[in-house]
Structures are given as C-alpha cells and as structure tokens.
Amino acid sequence: MVISTTGAVVTGLGATTPLGGDAASTWAGLVAGENGIRPIEEDWAVDFPVRLAARLKVEPTEVLDRVQARRLDRCQQVALVAAREAWAHAGRPEVDPERLAVVVGTGTGGALTMLGQHDVLNASGSRRVSPLTIPKQMSNGPAAWVSIELGARAGAHTPVSACASGAEAIAMGLDLIRLGRADVVVAGGAEACVHPLTLAGFAQARAHSTRNDEPDRASRPFDTGRDGFVIGEGAALLVLERAEFAAARSARVHAVLAGSGVTSDAHHITAGSPEGQVRAMRMALSSAGLAPGQVAHVNAHATSTPVGDAVEAASITEAVGPHPAVTATKSMTGHLFGAAGALGALATVLSVRDGVIPPTRNVDDLDPGITLDVVTGRARKGPLPAALTNAFGFGGHNVSLAFTPSP
C-alpha cells in the first residue's frame, strides 16, 4: 500500500436533479440560470406555510426497471440513476472489484419509506407493513445498491453529516485513493425527502422560504430579501480515479480533485461557526498545495438563509479573499441536503473544465454586508486555475473541496 499526497482525477459525472435527468442537462440548466423550483400541488399542501419545492425534472421510474424501482426507496433510486450515468461517462473502467469503492452520503436516507410505512402501520396494522421496509429505509442503502450494481468490493461507505454528506463522501473518496485502498471510487450524495413532516419541521424552524406565490424567486442567496432555503431532491456522483490508473487506460479527465478539508465546529447543533468554515477551506488549499490567490472561483454553500449566507461570505473572504468569482447554484436547484455538496462539486468540476461559472439567480439587491464578487445575470467565462466548493451541515459539519483543471 502506497500513501500518496497527490489528488484524484475525475473521469465520470452523473446526476438527476430539479434541472435535468442527467449531468449534461443539469449543467446546461445551471449555465442558463434556469429555475427548478415549483409549487407543491398535492392536497396536503393547501394550508401549509410552505408550498414549494425543487423536485426532480425526470422521475427515476422513467429510467429504472419497474420491478427494481419498486424495491428501492426514492433516495436509492436517484443514487442508482446517477451512478449508472457516472459509470458510463467514465467509460466503465475495467478495475479489480477489490480496488473499487463506493461512498454515497445522505442526510435522511430512506425517510419517505420510514414515514410512509409508519402511516401504513397506524392505519392497517403490522401485517400490512412492507417486508422491504428495512432495506429501503437504511441510510446506507444508496451506497449498498450502487456497490451491488458495480460489483465494488473495496468498501461501501455512507457519511451522514447533514447537508455536508455528499461533499464529505467525495473527500472520503479522495482519502481512499491517497491511502492506496482503491484505484477507483464512485462518490457523491443522494437525497429525497420532500414530505409534509420535513416541510413542517423546517417551516417551524423558520429555515424554509415561504415565498409560496413566487417559486421562481424563492431561493435568493446573498440577496437582502432572502428568507430561507427551498427543499430539493436528487443525486450527484463523481467517478474518482488514481491518476496513474486513469492514464493507463487513456481515460478522459474532466478535472483534478486536488485537495479536501473536513472540520467540525463543536459549537452548536444548527448555527454554523465561521472559524470551522475557514479551517475547512484553508485545509483544502493546503491539501491541494494551493495558495488563496490561485483560487479564481468558489461554488458557495449559500442556501439563502439570512444568517448562513452572511457567515459563509465572511468566511470565504477570510480564508480565500474577496477576489474569487462566487456563485450559489442552490438559487436554481433548491437545497438537496445530503446531495447538495456533491452537486456543488459536479458543477465546480464542469466550471473548471469548461471555464464557465453559472450565475446566481434572484440577486436583485446584493446584501451590502457581502463584499464578494457574486456572479449574477449571465454565466461568466474565463480560465479557472483553481476552484473551491463548500458544503456545511447542521451539527457543525464543514467540507471544502479544491479542484484544478486536467493536466
């Protein structure tokens, strides 16, 4: 086993999101500044304080086999859809199964199954509960199903760190490659928990936007009128490879995952700490061998909450400086919770590869306390020598990932 300090190369991308059923359509939607947030039309939402969400553009049941789809929770479905695309996009690497690992993070796992079967139990009794309840509700289910799909035997891991889960999964994938435990890792996040209970909980916590009559203007990171995030669903996965392994098979490299930073605040269960965020970004830069001045772009966590956006803006300024072009893609996709950091990573890979930074929607009046160079209006083009993407989660989880162009 050889321990390496180099990064991992990104050779495959897969996604299903509120903007598209694959990575390409999602990226096109981000670059165009499209809106993936829609009204909730179910009867239960009529009298709810929150009546909007960012749901999938393409239902996973349109992609997966009908029988297989019925055996999977929605969170597992989206993970499998994204994994299949990422694996095909990478050219289906021929790798020893014992050198292939999977890391798929999630915030809530099979929450829809758990809540739905609890309703069945209360309404019809224990004998009506599905025998698939346990495998469908397990938080490790998405990683397990992806590992079964690909035959991965070097480990199937599941970081559960709230909204940092998907980014932490990618950081763990980098560690596995650096530690010599895998040649290829499929890593990212999956989430699907649009449900009355989750919406009610976030509404009571005053964390979710209540701009119900204007769903296309509801998520507005860094804007003075921001009033909370918008719940979203989906998955994003990257195929990471040891650079020498990818070179030996002449794989196309989209970007390099050059470094990562993972910290915890040990501060408060929901309020983030700027100190922890700064440490994560500085750790990512150190891990990648980058100086702050080399970072041209930051894909911010920026969920559209009044306090959270301001704290992150100050943290970016302290850790990196005010010079990077910053975007907040949750303005288009909503907040995918456990998949959010993975989707941010996917967008950052494509920004670095294509030299394009997606705009931030709905910044009509930039918060005067935020001095960052926030990209608005149209996508911005230009070479990006290095970029960071951030993901922070309840519980004090902080993850920052550093990407550089393909050599």
Strands 387-393 and 297-299: parallel
| Catalytic residue (choose from 89, 157, 254, 335) | 335
- Per the annotation, the verdict on 195 as an active-site residue is no
Cβ atoms of 110 and 77 within 8 Å: the answer is: no
Q: Where are the beta strands (DSSP E) in 73-125?
A: 100-105
| Catalytic residue (choose from 75, 89, 163, 208) | 163
- Per the annotation, the verdict on 301 as an active-site residue is yes
Residue 219 burial (10 A CB sphere; 0-12, 13-18, 19+): buried
Rg of the chain in Å (alpha carbons): 20
Q: Which two tokens stand for residue 125?
A: 């009794």
Rounded distance between C-alpha atoms, residue 313 and residue 293, angstroms = 17
Specify the DSSP element, H or E, that contains 54: none
| Single-letter amino acid, residue 276 | G
> CB atoms < 10 A from the CB of 149, how many?
16
| Single-letter amino acid, residue 134 | I
% helix / strand / coil in the chain, to the nearest 5?
40, 20, 40
- Per the annotation, the verdict on 163 as an active-site residue is yes
Say whether 38 sits in a helix, a strand or coil.
strand
> CB atoms < 10 A from the CB of 307, how many?
12
Active site residues: 163, 301, 335
